[in-house]
Amino acid sequence: MHKDFSDAQAFSKSFDDPARDAWQRPAEVIEQMKIAPGSVVADLGTGTGYFVGWLSRAVGPSGKVLALDVEAEMIRFVAQRAEQQQLSNVEPRQVAADDPGLAAGSVARVLIVDTWHHIDERAQYARKLAAALAPGGEVWIVDFTADSDIGPPARYRVSPEQAVSELQDGGLTAEIVQGETLPKQYIVRGARP
């Protein structure tokens, strides 16, 4: 699924709408991830940086948040956001559509929110994510359920079972996270074996 996300200011109206907190539940997502202070984490498909503040606080001043997106305008927007919010541990980076651009063994967590369905060749992409994980590292996919009233058209949605399979094909162990309470989404966790 390819969509033009170049107008960051326009997308910010929906991506950063305070009403999103009710269904996205960022505090719950971050809590589920069990991020250790001092960690390096990646926000893949960061968009306007909705999650960067949450991740920045989770990793603390000695950690780092790599805010990754394919759109140059989104990266500029996130850089401005990080500066305005004084998030000195956030590093916005533009990446290729087929490569997260992460060094081997460099990240403890990769968070992929509302983005997995945009990635082509997801099993190959998952291999690159697996290689980027430090020992004990995990990939967290948060995406829309089939019956969600928001999100991409149904034909573009990726089921949690499919996301699990794609992470497994990429060399990770993977599971659907049980007990989360997101009303419109699911969470899948992949781990380095």
Is a pLDDT exceeding 70 seen at residue 21?
yes
Ramachandran class of 102: left when φ > 0, alpha when ψ lies in -120 to 50, beta otherwise: beta
Q: From CA 73, how far away is CA 77, in angstroms rounded?
A: 6
**pLDDT score for 6:** 59
Between 188 and 5, name the one with better pLDDT.
188
Q: Are the C-beta atoms of 43 and 51 separated by less than 8 Å?
A: yes
Which stretch of 22-26, 43-47, 144-148 has the lowest confidence by average pLDDT?
A: 22-26
Counting residues of the chain whose pLDDT is more than 70, the rounded percentage is 90
Q: From CA 82, how far away is CA 85, in angstroms rounded?
A: 5
Tokens of residue 49, six digits: 């940086």
Is a pLDDT exceeding 90 seen at residue 4?
no
Helix (H) or strand (E) holding 191: strand 185-191
The torsion angles phi and psi of 115, rounded to 5 degrees, stand at -130, -25
Counting residues of the chain whose pLDDT is more than 90, the rounded percentage is 77
How big is the chain by its Cα radius of gyration, in Å?
A: 15
pLDDT per residue as tens digits for the range 48-82: 899 999 999 999 999 999 999 999 998 999 999 99
Is a pLDDT exceeding 90 seen at residue 20?
no
For the four alpha carbons of 7, 144, 179 and 189, in that order, the dihedral sign comes to negative
Sequence-ordered alpha helix ranges (H) in 93-159: 122-132
- With bands split at pLDDT 50, 70 and 90, how would you rate the model's confidence at 143? very high
- Domains with residue ranges and CATH for the chain: 22-108+125-135 (3.40.50.150)
pLDDT per residue as tens digits for the range 89-107: 999 999 999 999 999 999 9
